[in-house]
Structure 1
Amino acid sequence: MDYLRFELRKIKGSGIFVIGAVLTILSVLFQGYLGLMVKEITCDIIHVTALNLFSTLIFPIFISVVVSESFSIEETNCGIANSYFSNISIIKIYSMKLLTVRLINLFYFILATAITMIFVALKGGNTVDIFFKEWNWIALTIINIHTLINVVAILIVCFKSRLLAMMISVIATVFASLLNPLGISWLNPWYGFEHALFYRGLSHLAITYMIILFTLSEFLIKKKIKEIPPLLESMV
């Protein structure tokens, strides 16, 4: 728990956490208000409208920012190497980093969802019914949160460049919609949140792919973390 508290304090001190929360609130409030003003948008689908900007742009990019910021703190001051040579478990440190960014981004999702439920209620809908009806969306979103965090972390560890990982994330997010006409945009994990919202239109193949990608990313990030201590030993 000490590792976890330490990682949370570092992220909090960087200001990234607050910025992410503010962007989450503003984007959902803006889209939700627009949906509230349109009579054709019913209580059953207003959560889709409210979360559209957040899911397609804000959330996938900010996940990459939070992961990069978490990894950057040690890179800047050679913290990982110093920890290793001080007999502090590198695997434990990276595991706590991943847990920290997962908790933070789950918080963003919960915050965004809570705000959308306000608009559901204002439209006269039953928030409990929405949760029961939309459990597929919630499950797929949580899977994609973990997957995207793993993918960005793998990019940082493999290429040893946070900047490259961020560039890939921004490009993949901004240009994800280009794959829509081909019907294969679900292959892009940065676009997974949008597809989770519209899960009714996803094929069984797409859903299976998202689950497999999650499983594979979990395996790969654990493997990459285990490779870090030997790399540091070679520096001696």
Structure 2
Amino acid sequence: MAVEAVLFDFSGTLFRLEHDPSWLVDITDHRGDPLDVEAQAELMRRMTAPVTLAVELDEEHLHAWRNRDLDPALHRKAYLEVLRRSGIPRVEQAKALYGKLTDPSAWTPYPDAAEALRRVSDSGLAVGVLSNIAFDIRPAFVEHGLDTYVDEFVLSYEIGAIKPEPAAFRTALDLLGAAPQRTLMVGDSDEADGGARRLGCAFAQVDPLPTTERPDGLLSALREHSVL
């Protein structure tokens, strides 16, 4: 397959929300005690890699969780409740943590993200970022000078569709003017990003490791699919 367009996921693929210990310095549990290291690590996991729901929610908040990437208000509602049920009872503390999750400047690009995006763009291929997300991630790309390599940002809350729904991929392909049979989707989730295969796209999976532990995952994925 001659690739003419590449779609990249955002979280765990191009960028990652790294654990900054300073965010949790003043966080206390329901007894008023500081969180231990294990509790801090679990809290960050729930904020940044919610593959499965780790807490029980009532119907109201379960609805918000299931639709969180379609509506910023539902996203905030769902995560504040998850944080509360994860041992952060003080609303102001939960709001502060949630603010980090949705602050584009708090996200770190993977070491090879700039090179991967630049080389794909310089090769004349169309480049899109397709993300299940409820806040604008464009400022993160602007801050690191990566926006110039992206032709289209396709964000779930703006288009009303989430991966792996075919509509999410179709919207991205239409915006790029790309045929699915000539498009590569790069992402960290086989379930969500891998849904592109149902439309005929190729799929390359990367591991959402900490940025220091994955120096060239994007470049390797692109080479494996003969994009570079």
Q: What TM-score results when the alignment is normalised by the length of structure 2?
A: 0.27
Higher strand share: 2
Instruction: Tell me which structure has the larger Cα radius of gyration.
Output: 1
Higher helix share: 1
Q: What TM-score results when the alignment is normalised by the length of structure 1?
A: 0.26
